[in-house]
Amino acid sequence: MEKGPRERILVLGVGNLLMGDDGVGIHAVRELVKRTLPPGVDVVDAGTAGLDLLRLMEGYAKVLIIDAVDAGEEPGAILRFTPEDITTQTVDFAVSLHQTEVLKVLELATCVGQSLPPTVVYGVQVKEMGWSTELSPAVQAGLNSLVEAVVEEVSKRGQ
């Protein structure tokens, strides 16, 4: 039986594949589509979608975003947080490395009255940013753990 739009989960991978570790979100969704995920889970390569993220998120019960961050952690470290976690505290790190930061887009939606589904961000600490289509060894080493964490989260519906 097909899940209704309010029961569906969206996993968005964001980033730039040409900028090394910044492409970790895209690499992650490429791995996720190879997995057997629960029914009602959509996986999308959102690239550097910017404001188009809001359109992509419409109609979902929950959204997971995978992105590169610079939080001063060990390269490859995986951080899990919600936009509310960030807006309710002072943060000393770049939540997204893109021109239009993911959390700024989500904040803009709130400012203009667009309701958003519950959103979770999986941020991966970058090591190398530069012209490359490959992840640094440290980020590549954590890719499987990242994918497993996302699979686990989308598998525990309603929790």
**Between the CA of residue 33 and those of 25, 27, 49, 50, what are the distances in Å?**
13, 10, 19, 22
The residue extents of the domains of the chain are 5-155
Listing DSSP states for 83-103 in one string gives HHHHHTS---SBS--SSS-HH
Instruction: Please report, for residues 47, 64, 146, the alpha-carbon distance to residue 29 in angstroms, rounded to integers and kept in the order given.
Output: 11, 11, 10
Whether this prediction's pTM lies above 0.75 is answered by: yes
Phi, psi of 124, deg, nearest 5? -120, 125
Backbone angles phi, psi at 14, to 5 degrees: -120, 155
Which overall architecture, per CATH, does domain 5-155 show? 3-Layer(aba) Sandwich (3.40)
pLDDT per residue as tens, the chain (159 positions): 455 555 899 999 999 999 999 999 999 999 999 999 999 999 999 888 777 788 888 899 999 999 998 888 999 999 999 877 765 444 454 444 444 466 666 666 666 666 788 899 999 999 988 899 999 999 999 999 999 999 999 998 654
